[in-house]
């Protein structure tokens, strides 16, 4: 099983323009992500997929593997599909968030292990919810699983709804899971889902994975307790610097 890790990297972030090139204690965010991902033993190759010449040139400057992609992609999945359509030697593609400078390489290996099941088409990670604040946070999507660990549904609302219980008691009657936004796809499945039109469920919740469920694809999950530190805003950057570098 030959696996490629793809790191989509856009310059034109609405909340934090130029985010991949921000300095984090002497290294840019995209270089930190790239370095971390290269420690995943399951990957045969790692590549940054960007639409910006500045990011392209910077990745080249630290001898990273990078490809230029179109600007009009609506999601990281679409950007990954463009990369995979230009090559033919991989079985699995992993879509890795470019804004998590301290991503745990073992999470990537865990995700790849989902494809030891030959029926797995798409895979992603989940984390058990232990805090009520995470359950109620609409920016942290929740997921309900079946007995096989496959995703039944994703929502920004707390799910499943526990009838007859106060929400502050739900976690004691769990389990409840947050979704971790890293995906793996069989290459042929990635090519197929990139062609699917927008679905009603996806547009309602603004969660692209609902499109795949809506069209009948199965999403296998694996559970990780690692807490990922993503940088979406300048305020997030300050939190990261204080956590790791300003002791």
Tokens describing residue 200: 């009603």
pLDDT of residue 247 exceeding 70: no
pLDDT of residue 62 exceeding 70: yes
Rounded Cα distance between 177 and 179, Å, is 6
User: 96-126: per-residue pLDDT in tens?
Assistant: 999 999 999 999 999 999 999 999 999 999 9
Q: How far apart are the first and last CA of the chain?
A: 42
Collect all residues with Cβ–Cβ distance below 8 Å to 225 and sequence separation of at least 6: 127, 128
Residue-range domain boundaries for the chain: 3-241
Q: Assign 239 to helix, strand or coil.
A: helix
Q: Average of pLDDT values for 137-162?
A: 97
Strands (E), 59-188: 66-68, 92-95, 122-128, 142-145, 151-155, 177-186
User: 19-50: per-residue pLDDT in tens?
Assistant: 999 999 999 999 999 999 999 999 999 999 99
What is the topology classification, in CATH, of domain 3-241? Answer: Spore Coat Polysaccharide Biosynthesis Protein SpsA; Chain A (3.90.550)
Collect all residues with Cβ–Cβ distance below 8 Å to 191 and sequence separation of at least 6: 81, 84, 85
Residue percentage of the chain with pLDDT more than 70: 100
Q: Average of pLDDT values for 59-84?
A: 95
What is the overall mean pLDDT for the chain? Answer: 95
Count CA atoms closer than 13 A to 245's CA, side-chain side: 11
Q: What is the predicted pLDDT for the residue at 202? A: 96
């Amino acid at each position: 099983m030959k696996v490629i890790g793809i790191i989509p990297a856009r310059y034109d972030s609405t909340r934090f323009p130029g985010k991949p090139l921000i300095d984090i204690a002497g290294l840019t965010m995209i270089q930190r992500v790239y370095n971390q991902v290269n420690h995943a033993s399951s990957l045969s190759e790692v590549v940054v997929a960007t639409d910006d010449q500045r990011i392209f040139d910077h990745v080249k400057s630290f001898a990273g593997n990078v490809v230029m992609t179109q600007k009009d992609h609506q999601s990281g999945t679409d950007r990954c599909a463009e990369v995979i359509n230009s090559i033919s030697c991989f079985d699995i593609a992993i879509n890795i968030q470019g804004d998590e400078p301290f991503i745990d390489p073992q999470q990537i290996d865990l995700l790849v292990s989902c494809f030891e099941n030959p029926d797995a088409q798409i895979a992603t990670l989940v984390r058990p919810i232990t805090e009520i604040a995470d359950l109620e946070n609409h920016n942290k999507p929740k997921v309900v699983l079946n007995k096989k660990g496959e995703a039944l549904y994703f929502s920004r609302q707390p799910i499943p709804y526990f009838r007859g219980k106060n929400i502050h008691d739900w976690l004691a009657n769990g389990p409840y899971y947050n979704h971790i936004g890293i995906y793996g796809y069989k290459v042929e499945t990635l090519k197929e889902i990139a062609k699917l039109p927008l679905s009603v469920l996806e547009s309602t919740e603004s969660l692209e994975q609902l499109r795949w469920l809506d069209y009948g694809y199965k999403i296998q999950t694996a559970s990780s307790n690692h807490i990922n530190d993503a940088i979406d805003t300048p305020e997030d950057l300050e939190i990261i610097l204080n956590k790791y570098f300003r002791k």
